[in-house]
Structures are given as C-alpha cells and as structure tokens.
Chains A and B, each alone.
With several copies, the nearest count.
Chain A
Amino acid sequence: MTRVPYLTPVPDPDPAPPLPGLEPPDHASDRAAARADEVLVVDVEGFEGPLDLLLNLSRMQKVDLLQISVLELADQYLAFVDQARALRIELAADYLVMAAWLAFLKSRLLLPPDPEAEGPSAEEMAAHLAFQLERLNAMREAAARLMARDRLGQDRFARGAPEVVTRQRQVAWQAGLIDLMRAYARLRTRDEFRPYAFDRRDVFTMEQALDRVRGLIGFAGDWTQLAAFLPEGWEADPQRRRSATAATFAATLELARQGRLEISQSASFAPITIRRRPE
C-alpha cells in the first residue's frame, strides 16, 4: 500500500489542539470538566458550512493542506459534533450529513480495503476531501487578494465631474416640404374632397367633347369636317390637338350610335365629316 500523506496521522506534540469555536479547548479528557463549567461557547454560526469548519480544523494540523491527515480531521470534526450534541446545540443538517460521511470514511480508512467493494475507494474519497479543502482555501485567499487590490472608489478614482454628453436628437426630414404641402392641401380640400384627382390640362375628355359636339351638332345640317368641332385653343399644340381630336371623334361615334348624327369618310385617311341626322 502506497503511503498517502493525508491518511497518515500527523504526530503532534500537543495532544489536544484547541478546536475553533469551542472554548475552552475541548478534548476527550477535558470534556467532562468543561461541561461542568457550563461556560462553553459553541460558535457554529461563525462557520460557513461544514467544509469551512473542516478547513479551520485542518489549519490546526499546521501542515500543508495536501499533507493533512484526513483521519485526524475526521476525528476532530466528530468530536466537535459530539460536543455540540452534548450541549444540545442544534446543528444544521449539512453538519450532520458531513459527520455521518466522515464517520463512514473513517471506518473505510481503518478497515482493510474490500476488493469486492464498488465505487470509489476510501483513499479516493479522502483525496477528494483534501482537494475540496485546498480549493476552498485557495478561493478564500483569492478573495482576500481581490479585496486587497487598488479598488475603484477607494484607491483609484473616476472623473468626479463627468461631463454631460448632450444627446442631440436631430430629426431628419426626408420629404419635409412635401409633407407640409400635403398636410396643407389635405386641410384646404377637405370640403372638396375627391378620391382621385388628375390635372387634365392637356387632355380633352370625351365628356367635354360630347358636351361640345351635342351643342354644336344642331347647327350642322350639312356635312361638316370633324376638325371644325375641335375646341378653341386646342389646334396649335400637337399633344392637345391629338387629345381633342380623339375625344371629339369618340364623341361623334357615340352620338352616331345614339342615332343623333351621321359620319362619313370618302376614302382612307380622307377628312371625316359629320352632319346632324336628318329627321
């Protein structure tokens, strides 16, 4: 069997190291006397759980945490729990769980290993406990180191009067003027609202042509050229002439359909002439 340091009881010249939290020091021989004294103070509150208590107990072995004797530690812990029990101090459940586990571990460590046994060996369990204690200790030291750093607001300071950054909200208007004009138009045309409006400056509509031709046809007893029916001011501009011609022609077709007038064209592309339909 290899020699595992944390399994070896550490020889201690002082057979009764004082237990933390228990005053006066309690070891087996003193226990009765101490109990009689009734000045015992068990300060379980001072510990952050059983691991913390174990860590404190292990410190009394005055050795590197990797060298601690888990056996001795188990004894010390169990003694502590016994003491608390004797004093009828209610220990939190996790302290008792740890006690049971340590008692179990102790028995496994003392007995020769059972080759049939499953699960981790007693040595592995003890090693893990040692690891846990070392890790907790390391974290505790790390916390202390952290707190000892040059801290902001204590050793290092930020600008005491930070300058205010004004948030300038710029509103971007992509169609600002259009919005404005639309809004205005919307307001001003609310009463004469038309769902669809189109400015037909250059478009002569068929309705307009119908009105015009209906009015004029009464005077056209003889064949008259279509061009004569075009409205005034629509002859010069080609676009306007085209629109007016088309509208007027469409209007004559409509009136012909209604039997109001007759249309004639002598040849292809010859001028179109119309006249009122004789009664």
Chain B
Amino acid sequence: MTDEPLDPHRFSPPPLPEQERMVEAVLFASAHPMSLREIAARLPKGCDPAEVMQSLCARYEGRGVQLARVGDAWAFRTAADLGFLMQESMVESRRLSRAATETLAIIAYHQPVTRAEIEEIRGVAVSKGTLDQLIELEWVRIGRRRQTPGRPVTFVVTEAFLDHFGLESARDLPGLAELRAAGLLESRPQAALAPTLFRDEDVEADASGALADDLFEDE
C-alpha cells in the first residue's frame, strides 16, 4: 500500500477498460452521487474518470440500473420504470404540505430567490417550518446574499434535490423554458402595483441574515 505510485509519470495509468471497471466499482459502492473529482481521488494517479464516463453510461443504457448525472456528479440509480418492484424498499416520505411543495418549486425555478420574493409570489408569508423542512431534507440550501439593501439571504436548490427528482441540473426543470418565455420567472418591480400583504419584510431580512451568519459563510 505504501508502494502506491506517487509519481504520476513513473507508472502509466491503467488502460481505459480497466479505468472503466474502477469507476464502476467506486460509483456502485456509493449511495450518494460522486463528483468526478471525488472519483478521481479514489483511482490510481493519472486516471481520468471523465474519459470513461461516457462508455460506462452507454454500457448501462437500458439496464435495470442506470448511470445518472446529478449536477457535477454521477450515481447509479435503478431505472424509474422498475420502481414498482421496490415497493418494499420504498421510503415512506412525509407528505410535503402544499406550502412546502410550492415554496420548493419557487426556489427551484427562481433561484437564487429571497424569502421576500417567495412571499411575493405566493402572496403569503412563509411560515417558519416550511423552509426549515426543505433545508432539513437537504433539498434547499442558503446561497449567497443578494447585493441589495439589507443584503438578504437567498435560497437555492441542492444536488440532493436534483438527485431526488432525477434532474441532471436545475436547467432541466420541467417547463422551465416555457415559463421563462411567458415572462413568469422574471421578477418585476411591483412597488405600488400590488397590496403589501405582509409588513415584516425588514424583520424577515434581518432574521434570515442572522441565520445565515450563524450557519454559513459565503466566501
């Protein structure tokens, strides 16, 4: 083990078919998506996982287990059409409230989005538990602060979100192009056009600011 080649030029990397086997093994072993960098870190020096990913994908095309791209990462997942066989392994997920699913959709389609923006779209204050629940599910995380007065915190969806909903990237959200074309994803200045339904925007910004400071450091 200690004799592992340290100098990449000392030993040439394994041939591609062997690298493919290695990537296959590493990805199979993991329940979570792995980025190319993470994969490479596990392979012998000089291997290039990106190179073999395509052929590995092709190999599992149409199989019961498939290679799925999740953001910058990859994971093996069972084919969606065979879900019915796995009823017993099904994770009984707590049904999300309508508020939670709507909030999730708004974050996914409008990200990065502030709490005030979510409230404007839904026309109702975001109740305390909703965002917490989504963050706890690891579907939503806190993004960078918006560079506007109050520097409100923003929310974005995570890789786990993509993984859960079988999306390669947030760009693959269903209907995204149509919604954008219809102008429904633009944030329009709404001052004076609509009633102010909740007055706690400042407090809100403050509160989420405090949260962000507590938990996350953006750069």
CB–CB under 8 A between A and B in the complex? Answer: yes
Q: How far is the CA of A198 from the CA of B188 in the complex (A)?
A: 11
A238 to chain B, nearest CB (A): 21
Please report the number of residue pairs spanning A and B whose Cβ atoms sit closer than 8 angstroms: 274
The answer to whether A172 and B197 touch across the interface, beta carbons within 8 angstroms, is no
B43 at the interface (CB under 8 A from A): no
A153 at the interface (CB under 8 A from B): yes
The answer to whether B176 and A160 touch across the interface, beta carbons within 8 angstroms, is no
The answer to whether A157 and B77 touch across the interface, beta carbons within 8 angstroms, is yes
- Which A residues from 181 to 233 make CB contacts under 8 A with B? 181-190, 195-199, 201
Residue from B89, B165, B183 with most neighbouring chain A CB atoms (10 Å): B165
A97 to chain B, nearest CB (A): 5
B190 at the interface (CB under 8 A from A): yes
Q: A48 and B198 in contact (CB under 8 A), knowing A149-B166, A181-B105?
A: no
Q: How far is the CA of A197 from the CA of B105 in the complex (A)?
A: 22
A154 at the interface (CB under 8 A from B): yes
The answer to whether A153 and B90 touch across the interface, beta carbons within 8 angstroms, is yes
Residue numbers in A under 8 Å from B89 (CB-CB): 157, 160, 168, 170
Q: How far is the CA of A248 from the CA of B20 in the complex (A)?
A: 78
Instruction: Using CB atoms, name the residue of chain A closest to B68.
Output: A156
- Which B residues from 163 to 184 make CB contacts under 8 A with A? 163-167, 173-176, 179-184
Q: A147 and B184 in contact (CB under 8 A), knowing A163-B86, A170-B92?
A: no
Say which residue of A94, A120, A154, A198 sits within 8 Å of B124 (CB atoms): A94
Residue tally, chain B, CB below 8 Å to A:
72
A173 at the interface (CB under 8 A from B): yes
The answer to whether B102 and A181 touch across the interface, beta carbons within 8 angstroms, is no
Q: A196 and B197 in contact (CB under 8 A), knowing A151-B166, A162-B29, A179-B96?
A: no
A167 at the interface (CB under 8 A from B): yes
The answer to whether A48 and B122 touch across the interface, beta carbons within 8 angstroms, is yes
The answer to whether B105 and A159 touch across the interface, beta carbons within 8 angstroms, is no
Instruction: Using CB atoms, name the residue of chain B closest to A53.
Output: B123
- Which B residues from 75 to 100 make CB contacts under 8 A with A? 75-80, 83, 86-96, 98-99
Give the contact stretch, choosing among A4-12, A79-87, A128-136, A271-279. Answer: A128-136
The answer to whether B30 and A152 touch across the interface, beta carbons within 8 angstroms, is no
Q: How far is the CA of A16 from the CA of B95 in the complex (A)?
A: 36
Q: How far is the CA of A138 from the CA of B214 in the complex (A)?
A: 34
Q: How far is the CA of A171 from the CA of B137 in the complex (A)?
A: 9
Q: A187 and B102 in contact (CB under 8 A), knowing A124-B193, A128-B188?
A: yes
Say which residue of B28, B93, B101, B185 sits within 8 Å of A143 (CB atoms): B101
Q: How far is the CA of A151 from the CA of B166 in the complex (A)?
A: 6
Say which residue of A52, A139, A163, A177 sits within 8 Å of B165 (CB atoms): A177
Q: A128 and B164 in contact (CB under 8 A), knowing A143-B101, A171-B137, A181-B184?
A: no
The answer to whether A167 and B90 touch across the interface, beta carbons within 8 angstroms, is yes
The answer to whether A188 and B123 touch across the interface, beta carbons within 8 angstroms, is no
Say which residue of A165, A183, A184, A195 sits within 8 Å of B88 (CB atoms): A165
The answer to whether A180 and B104 touch across the interface, beta carbons within 8 angstroms, is yes
Sample (15) of A-B pairs whose CB atoms are under 8 Å apart: A97-B196, A132-B123, A135-B121, A139-B121, A152-B163, A154-B90, A159-B29, A160-B32, A173-B165, A178-B193, A180-B105, A180-B173, A183-B105, A189-B176, A189-B185
* Extra inter-chain contacts (8) besides given A52-B123, A149-B174, A162-B30, CB under 8 Å: A51-B124, A132-B194, A149-B166, A175-B191, A177-B166, A183-B104, A186-B102, A187-B122
User: A: which residues have CB within 8 A of B?
Assistant: 48-52, 54, 94, 97-98, 100-101, 119-120, 124-125, 128-129, 131-132, 134-136, 138-147, 149-190, 195-199, 201
List of 3 A-B pairs having minimum Cβ-Cβ separation, nearest first: A51-B123, A49-B124, A155-B83
